[in-house]
Amino acid sequence: MKLVFAGTPEVAVPALDALLASGRHEVAAVVTRPDAPAGRGRRLVASPVAERAEEAGIEVLKPAKPKDPEFLERLREIGPDCCPVVAYGALLPRVALDIPAHGWVNLHFSLLPAWRGAAPVQHAIMAGDEITGASTFLIEEGLDSGPVYGTVTEEIRATDTSGDLLTRLAFAGAGLLAATMDGIEDGTLKAVPQPADGISLAPKVNVEDAHLDWNAPALRVDRMVRGCTPAPGAWTTFRGERLKLIQAAPAPDRTDLAPGQITAGKNNVYVGTGSYGVELLWVQAQGKKPMRAADWARGVRIGEGERLGD
């Protein structure tokens, strides 16, 4: 088939690479978000998908909005049979959805209908799920509600951050998306409507959502830290300033600390929760670089009875 691939961040690049390497389909163009300011100089930078497409010599389309008439006209001129999508980042209007004969097929990082929305991996970890995966589905105008072509499953490991898990899903999902294109092309694959039961939503996780509650159980705190790493970053406060937690681990043997109470030894830093303690491993103080929690604690000289949080 002739394909137009839509995607923006680094997590979409493995799927683009898989389609380029498949040998069965022609990736005629790529659709991605416009260049965005980045870094201290705030200079405009192309998306990872745009950079990869340019390396491969593929036409790159960067509409401000996918309803722009110039973009729609160019898409009709290309005449794709199907448009595979991975984390494109903009809502597709009906007029765009109707252009390819086989529609737009999205790779979503959950086992639909679980975790529909922008942050499925983060929510799966924060909810304590043991299994997640990726799904390919036909995009409709509803939120991730279209019929599903296929899935792959992935175990959520005890130490997984959302970054770790998303990286694995990006590569497993890339193979799934390529296989879905093959099945659509040869007519062996049909999309199946999602069940009405088991729907859960995964809205974007913002900075306020990542504010830690030390009255919550230790497992909840651990899942919050892992689910919010690398972004937006789980955080608390210490002496009135924000402290980001990059890595922590449950410490079931520390039952002697009140919620938020922090204590530091030579090589360990522990904080109390609503159940038992957690050990802080890596932190980032406001305006500082990430550092080992023990090094941070030596620098700030934690006093007896001090607490994290408001």
Per the structure block, which two tokens stand in for 103? 């529609």
Per the structure block, which two tokens stand in for 107? 């790779």
Per the structure block, which two tokens stand in for 160? 């997984």
Residue 9 marked as a ligand binder: no
Cβ atoms 63, 71 nearer than 8 A: yes
**CB proximity list for 38: less than 8 A, separation 6 or greater:** 44, 45
DSSP labels for 250-286? EETT--S--BTBEEE-SS-EEEB-SSSEEEEEEEEET
Please write down the long-range contacts of 190-198, taking CB distance under 8 Å and 24 or more positions apart.
Answer: 190/149, 191/137, 191/138, 191/146, 191/147, 191/148, 191/149, 192/147, 192/148, 192/149, 193/147, 193/148, 194/112, 194/113, 194/137, 194/145, 194/146, 194/147, 194/148, 195/113, 198/113, 198/114
Opening angle at CA 300, ends 298 and 301, nearest 5: 65
Residue 111 marked as a ligand binder: yes
Residue 110 marked as a ligand binder: yes
Binding residues: 110-113
Q: Please report, in range form, the residues annotated as the binding site for (6S)-5,6,7,8-tetrahydrofolate.
A: 110-113
